[in-house]
Amino acid sequence: LPWTWASPVELELHYGAAGKSIGFDGLNNPEKVGQDSTISFKTAVWFWMKNSNCHSAITSGQGFGGTIKAINSMECNGGNSGEVSSRVNYYKKICSQLGVAPGANVSC
C-alpha cells in the first residue's frame, strides 16, 4: 500500500466516502486526489461541507476553533496543545497577511 500515512480507517472514512460522493474510486485510487486538480478541489469542498462539520462551525459562530474541533477533536481535549497553538498562530498570520480580522473563538 503506497499510502503508508493513511490507515485503512482513514482510507474508508475519507477517501472512500469522498469518492462515493463525488464520483471516483477513492478507496482503491486515493492518489487521484493528488493527481487530478478537479478531484482534489471537489474532495476539499466535500470534506469542508459534508464530512467534517467545518462549514457549520463557521456559520454557527464557533469560529476557527470550531474547525479545529471538527477536524481534530482530540487536540481540543488536551491531546496536543502544541498543535492547536501552531494552527491558531498560522491562521492569525494568514489573516494578518490578508488584512482581515481572525474573528472570535480562534482556539478550541
Contact 13, 7 (CB under 8 A): no
CA dihedral 13, 7, 22, 72 (to 10 degrees): 60
- pLDDT one-digit tens code per residue, 9-49: 566 678 888 999 999 999 899 889 989 999 999 999 998 88
The model's pTM is 0.72
- pLDDT one-digit tens code per residue, 51-96: 678 889 999 999 999 999 988 888 888 878 889 999 999 999 999 9
**Which residue's C-alpha cell is 464530512?**
51
